Structure 1
Amino acid sequence: MKKFIILFLFITTSLTAQNSTNSELSLEECIQIAIDNNIAYQRSELQFESEELNFKGTRSQVLPSINGGYSYAMNKGRSIDPYTNDVIDQQFSFSNASLRLNARLFNGFELRNSIRRDRFKMKAAEAEKEAAKQQLILDVTLAYFQVLNSEDLLQLTNIRLQATENQMNRIAHLAEEGSGNPADFTDIQGQFSNDQSAVVAAENQLKQAKLDLAQLLNTRLEIEVKEFQVLPEIKPYQLSAEEVYEESLENLEVFEGQRLRLQAAEEDVSVARSLFAPEISLFAQMNTNYSSLASLLNETGSQVVETGQFININGVSYAVQVNQTQFSQQEIPYFNQLNNNLSSVAGISVNIPILNGFQAKREVSLKKIGQEDARLALENTRNEYFQAIKQAHNDMKAAYKDYFFLKDQVTAYQESYRVNEIRFQNGVSNMVEYIISKNNLDRARVNLANAKYEFLIRTKILDYYRGII
């Protein structure tokens, strides 16, 4: 990826601000505020963080899963003694503990392909975040220049209004002295109203331009921008539309993001194909338990006891006695039982897909459709950008030509207005000729200012397509 460069670097190193206050913002300050506050850009950052977490989650699946379990309970009534398996009818407590391990050894490379897919998605989200940053800087720059353009137009309309007002005052003074044509005063009054309306429209246009810039900066504060003493030189653009397009394919992050999305879709097809492969897993488990009924019998000695049987010897009956061992019951401690009752199992399981309702086939087909859609999206973006670059290049060339045509036009109308103003003031020409000459000059000045900013804006758009942002 190409390194992100700040737009208008050549402007900021060569231009100086004039008559600015602490509340006025430079282009760089506006861009930084937008990067910090713009909601759309912040959402692109969140999307990248989400894809990054998804990738880390998928990668962690290579580790085996280990889970433990524990339970402790009290039992009342008829039940099975978990220690002796005898049927009993008494209260007792019992406990179970277990530890389980599962590890996938092979699953048709599903995990490997899933990791590669999610890595592509993460990188695509990162490229899309940078593309959003590029677009944001372009939008702020264009909005900034639109404010400057609107300020210039407002200044022109105010100058126009002031000139009309001066002429109106002069004619009014002549009318008071009883000289001049009375219709001249009403004509100039109409022109003055027209110029006042133009000032109102220019003021509203400036307010709207500032609102558009404030929206990009996500602020409700009143925006004031710094004016430049020197604007970039109006000179021919050196690259053709085709050359700009070729550079855009290499430098614009929007293309990089879609290329990565296409690679992710290709890996998604490989993930789906793993449904056809068997899955081999390793499993192991340890179990143990405890019962409050479990006990040990300890030998405490012996004693002679009668058995209740008799033996007859020579007609004499003798009771039969035996030597009986004596025992005492001892409860088995909790942890001793857990240790004594420990059992374990380990093995390998194989899950072989035989028939699953053609789910695997459908899944592969769906992922192939997604892959083709990603390819078409990339192709469509290329076509859209090619058309947009051609249009911007054509507009730039038209604005360049218009600028010099209008510059000559302003020069011509300035001379015409100068002559007509002198002729009108000396009573040689009438008010209609004067107003027509004045309006021609005013319109030419406005058109020249618009052409100048139109050319600068189109060149900046072309620079954006080249990745010079």
Structure 2
Amino acid sequence: MLYNGGAIKNGIKESELRVESASIGLNIAKERIQLNVLMGYLDVLLKEELSESAKSILKITTDQMKQTRVLIDAGLEAESEMYKLKAQRASQELDVIRAESDLEMALLKLKQEMFFPDERHLTIISPKLIEEQIGTLDVESFDYIMDLAYKTSLEVKQSEVDIESSIYGQKKMKGLFLPKVSLNAENVTNYSSAQNTIRQVATGNKITMDPSPIGFLESNPEQVVYSLPYETDEYEIKDGYSLGKQWNDNMYQNVNLRVNIPIFNGFKNKAQSQKSKIATDKLEVERQKVEITLRNVLKQAYLDAKAAHKAHQSAKQELSSSQYNMDMAQKLFNNGKGSFVDFQVAQQKVFIANSNLIQSKYNYIFKRKILDFYMTHEIIL
């Protein structure tokens, strides 16, 4: 093919860009797996801390029961107080069982996200999350985040590559309306095993044939008529006709130039060209949707990170106040000046406040890492 309106060249470029788009799609799938694993990993850490929190509250009650037994034996507390503590410990033991069950489910989900065999043990190593770093909000301006995320977004890159590929597809379709020029050359020979036998072969020399009788005179049958002397090709007998000799003797060459000018084909080319243009327009709309979606996701993540930071700060203050109230209630209860109900309520508030703090911490970490991931496409804890 000497010329076909650039259809082959543009078709190759279109296919190369499709391969690039598929490669980007693979990386997008990998990133989604990374985010899912991150979410599962942080959920396991969250459930571990909630489990430890439930166990610590249970330990406080167990220790309180030992101290209350001493007071009862000394006649300073009624036996009924021990039954109240036992009921509270039973409730807290149920909280521990639920927390451990939640942890096991979180581990199972993480294994599934990692395609890790369920029956195999998975050791979770907790990162060193410095509380001072968690307690500070170092979030860049939204415009800065959006600009960086747009430049590095694989979804945006893929949409741009798809559009470029479609444009080359349009150029390929335009080549259908142009003449095509092609050059063809062939070199042909053959061989037959049937020819590989004894044969007569011309030597290239001429020989003179002697007169030979060809008839007689009608008026005198005894008078013989002879032919005139003549020249003819000289032949010789040869044994076989080899492959190489046959190929050389039967060689044939041919060269032709062809020009194909499209005139009319039922508007098929026109329809294909229009479909290609529509496909490009649709991809352009999809690119705009990708940009809008990216902006919305980032805006939501940005606001969530700020809200999560505020919630974490508030949860710290709530835990500090609840811890102080519980310590005071415990002292009063141990000295016989406070009621068990007040101590129980204070202890429950500490448990709830501590759970809120743990959840707000991991919620903020995840929201913050989402922003970091969109900017750097890396996950570092």
Superposed pair shares fold, TM > 0.5: yes
Deviation, 1:444, is: 0.4
Partners in 1 of 2:283 and 2:136 — Cα distance? 40
Deviations 1:135-157 (A, max 9, x none): 44433333322222221111111
Partners in 2 of 1:109 and 1:304 — Cα distance? 70
| Equivalent residue, structure 2, for 1:219 | 116
Q: Is the 8 A contact 2:134 2:361 kept in 1?
A: no
Deviations 1:110-149 (A, max 9, x none): 1121122223223333333443444444333333222222
Deviation, 1:425, is: 2.0
Q: Is the 8 A contact 1:306 1:319 kept in 2?
A: no
Partners in 2 of 1:456 and 1:195 — Cα distance? 28
Q: Is the 8 A contact 1:311 1:317 kept in 2?
A: yes
| Equivalent residue, structure 2, for 1:346 | 255
| Equivalent residue, structure 1, for 2:127 | 228
Q: Is the 8 A contact 1:403 1:452 kept in 2?
A: yes
**What are the within-5 Å matches in structure 2 for residues 361-380 of structure 1?**
361-380=270-289
RMSD: 3.0
233-242 vs 267-276, which moves further = 233-242
**What are the within-5 Å matches in structure 2 for residues 147-296 of structure 1?**
147-171=44-68, 180-220=77-117, 221-231=120-130, 232-291=133-192, 292-293=194-195, 295-296=199-200
Quickly say closer, same or farther: Cα 1:468–1:307, change in 2 above 3 A: closer
Q: Is the 8 A contact 1:283 1:346 kept in 2?
A: yes
Deviations 1:246-294 (A, max 9, x none): 2110122222122111111121111122211122111112222344358
Deviation, 1:174, is: 5.4
Structure 1 runs not aligned, ≥5 long: 1-103
Whichever structure has more helix as a proportion of its residues is: 2
Partners in 1 of 2:289 and 2:217 — Cα distance? 112
Deviation, 1:447, is: 0.6
Q: Is the 8 A contact 1:113 1:268 kept in 2?
A: yes
Deviations 1:331-357 (A, max 9, x none): 543332321222221111122222222
Q: Is the 8 A contact 1:154 1:199 kept in 2?
A: yes
Deviation, 1:463, is: 0.6
Number of residue pairs the alignment of both structures matches = 365
Does residue 317 (structure 1) correspond to residue 226 (structure 2)? The answer is no
Q: Is the 8 A contact 1:284 1:347 kept in 2?
A: yes
Deviation, 1:228, is: 3.4
Q: 2:306 aligns with which of 392, 397, 416?
A: 397
Secondary structure of the corresponding residue to residue 106 of structure 1 = coil
Secondary structure of the corresponding residue to residue 283 of structure 1 = strand
Secondary structure of the corresponding residue to residue 190 of structure 2 = strand
Deviations 1:348-397 (A, max 9, x none): 11222222221112211221222122222222122222111111112111
Structure 2 runs not aligned, ≥5 long: none
Partners in 2 of 1:466 and 1:304 — Cα distance? 105
Structure 1 letter corresponding to 2:181: I
Q: What TM-score, normalized to structure 2?
A: 0.84
Q: Is the 8 A contact 2:7 2:171 kept in 1?
A: yes
| Equivalent residue, structure 2, for 1:436 | 345
Whichever structure has more strand as a proportion of its residues is: 1
| Equivalent residue, structure 2, for 1:145 | 42
Identity of aligned residues (%): 22
Q: What TM-score, normalized to structure 1?
A: 0.70
Deviation, 1:240, is: 2.8
Quickly say closer, same or farther: Cα 1:429–1:254, change in 2 above 3 A: same
Q: Is the 8 A contact 1:237 1:459 kept in 2?
A: no
Quickly say closer, same or farther: Cα 1:161–1:367, change in 2 above 3 A: same
Quickly say closer, same or farther: Cα 1:327–1:459, change in 2 above 3 A: closer
Deviation, 1:399, is: 1.4
**What are the within-5 Å matches in structure 2 for residues 32-111 of structure 1?**
104-111=1-8
| Equivalent residue, structure 2, for 1:10 | none
Deviation, 1:297, is: 4.7
Secondary structure of the corresponding residue to residue 228 of structure 1 = coil
Structure 2 letter corresponding to 1:348: L
Does residue 464 (structure 1) correspond to residue 363 (structure 2)? The answer is no
Partners in 1 of 2:209 and 2:188 — Cα distance? 42
128-137 vs 376-385, which moves further = 128-137
